[in-house]
Structure 1
Amino acid sequence: MAYAIHMEREPEIKLEEWIESVNSTEGCRINNEGVSAINPNTGEEIHISGTEGDVEVLFQTKGFLGIGKKSSWEMCITFFEGRASFKPTKDFEFTETPVRVVIFKLARQLSAKVVGDEGEVYEW
């Protein structure tokens, strides 16, 4: 199983307040519909169902000299049984990583803490 980071608190986060917090936070949005991808070998479309409270994060890349800016929404955060979870990427240590920015905004709003699978607390 892959390493994950979680946002949690006591009492656990209620789905309704999670959705409200996500809806009021720039750079993220609820996506309960899941994700689709194309199998490059067969061309078959594969769909993975989402769950209520799943969150997409906005990623923006700047082209050379600011030309060719691209934006994409990517499914990053799952919400299950009162906590949000995501798999950190190599760039998670950088302060401006979109997932990191969003998760800490949400954690502050919900008075939650961000912890790793091994119990370590992240406080940036």
Structure 2
Amino acid sequence: MHPGAGGQFQRGRGRTFLPSEVEDSLYTDAALADLLHFKDGGNFEDWMKTARFYIYLYPQRQRVPLILHALPQELFLAAVDAGVTADSDIDHCCEILTQLTINQREQSLAKDFFHRDQKAGDNDEEHARDL
């Protein structure tokens, strides 16, 4: 991209961009490269703290999409199902993601507890009745 007349930028023979659009594009490219993806089994609280610290470096309209882009597919879909959209408030988005992560952790612990004393070959329904 190079500056043209009137302080506008043009990419090859394509569309002309205003300086603010070029700046936003540069932020987006940097953000996608810099924002670490959350890995299953990772510490969500630490990841969220880091993401929230750096997310304010980017334009407001790009913050929630950047957070959502960094999530595993299952958590992304759960967030969308919970009503998070690209134009959601960042604080609301983070609250929902935290609650979804807590719910997933609780379900995992419940499954682990359920299967902890289950003997090989036991039917799940029989084991549940025995508890």
Q: TM-score range by the shorter chain?
A: under 0.3
TM-score under structure 2 normalisation?
0.25
The structure in which a higher percent of residues are strand is 1
Higher relative contact order (CA closer than 8 Å, sequence separation 6+)? 1
Select the structure that is richer in helix: 2
Bigger Rg over Cα: 2
